[in-house]
Structure 1
């Protein structure tokens, strides 16, 4: 007697949920931000942002409503949306990756983040144009330079900090701050000196979490 074959049971795997980070404080506290799958996209970890924004809130004496921000290499917008959540007057996000820009725009719409402006383009090119004009054409005059806070979190190992930090100087207010993430400490390590392009800048705060070295700079 021929035995009938049992039909194979097909198990459908659920797609992995999108990676997320969360806004740490302010009016959108605990709101998740989608992290799209894109090469070089490296959102600032939640615990790092918590530390950094504690530093900044102390330095600004909690007066976020007077702070204008420029978020270069915006990626997920974790830094820029965090600043806007805490009441920053204006946040201009620069991002060259088209899918990332679309996600930024979707997040802005979801949050109804009126203080946020998103501009697609190469950070170095836009910085040069902004430095030449001392302002940037946007839908909101509040996004003109100088900025009180610039987030500089480029992809690692591509020399972006050396190219972009000098261009940021002309866009920064006299007492402004630049937040920098890097693959190495800017204070020098293992007997290596601090990078030459850091000349003229003071590291006012710095720390490390895992492979992330993060710093606040002031002229």
Structure 2
């Protein structure tokens, strides 16, 4: 696993030692960021990013490599938080990041400024994507117009809360990426 583009391009990331964490593949991450760069111009540069079900932090770290201003990584797993700390430290991003130990479906109220870009990569086939979107909405975590990227199994049908508009969806292998806008 490595950073695909930006100032940290080619840098390796620590990966999980168990099957409890399923990182987004390099290929899927490259596709996702190409879409963000071309179809949603400006959604990454200077963005305040929140990465839910962060695992290794690959999505949020990729955004920081490509010019995002700040990244918050949310995960309640012990191994995930250790990987996040290691990857953030290796890239020297301590001052631009925060790790938040929390269940991504039960965020509560936002502790600060709203986020303009959100990545959600919940465990497949558990119906957690819609619940996490609801938590973002109810807690005031997102700025109006925020772009949200939801990665799920290709056969999942997430329950999208009313304030989220699906802009497009793409399937790659057994994964489906939905691009949403928060209204």
What TM-score results when the alignment is normalised by the length of structure 1? 0.74
Instruction: Determine the structure 1 residue equivalent to 2:169.
Output: 206
Q: Partners of 1:167 and 1:105 in 2: how far apart?
A: 24
1:76 Cα shift? 0.9
Instruction: Determine the structure 2 residue equivalent to 1:25.
Output: 5
The more displaced of 72-81 and 101-110 is 101-110
Q: Partners of 2:44 and 2:104 in 1: how far apart?
A: 24
Match of 2:14 among 13, 23, 34: 34
> What SS does the corresponding residue of 1:102 show, helix, strand or coil?
helix
Instruction: Determine the structure 1 residue equivalent to 2:126.
Output: 158
Q: Does 1:55 align with 2:25?
A: no
Evaluate the alpha carbon distance shift between residue 71 and residue 196 of structure 1 in structure 2; reply closer, same or farther with a 3 A threshold: closer
Q: Partners of 1:145 and 1:161 in 2: how far apart?
A: 22
The more displaced of 107-116 and 197-206 is 197-206
Instruction: Determine the structure 1 residue equivalent to 2:113.
Output: 145
Match of 1:120 among 101, 118, 129: 101
Evaluate the alpha carbon distance shift between residue 200 and residue 22 of structure 1 in structure 2; reply closer, same or farther with a 3 A threshold: same
Instruction: Determine the structure 2 residue equivalent to 1:215.
Output: 178
Q: Partners of 1:196 and 1:111 in 2: how far apart?
A: 36
**Residues 70 and 97, structure 2, Cα contact 8 Å, conserved in 1:** yes
The more displaced of 55-64 and 75-84 is 55-64
What TM-score results when the alignment is normalised by the length of structure 2? 0.88
Instruction: Determine the structure 2 residue equivalent to 1:111.
Output: 91
1:59 Cα shift? 4.8
Evaluate the alpha carbon distance shift between residue 197 and residue 63 of structure 1 in structure 2; reply closer, same or farther with a 3 A threshold: closer
The Cα RMSD (Å) is 2.0
1:166 Cα shift? 1.5
Deviation by residue 1:71-121 (Cα, 9 ceiling, x = unmatched) = 011001110100111111110001111122112111111110131211222
1:50 Cα shift? 1.1
Evaluate the alpha carbon distance shift between residue 63 and residue 44 of structure 1 in structure 2; reply closer, same or farther with a 3 A threshold: closer
> What SS does the corresponding residue of 1:100 show, helix, strand or coil?
helix
Q: Partners of 2:117 and 2:101 in 1: how far apart?
A: 20
**Residues 84 and 116, structure 1, Cα contact 8 Å, conserved in 2:** no
Q: Which has the higher contact order (CA 8 A, sep 6+)?
A: 2
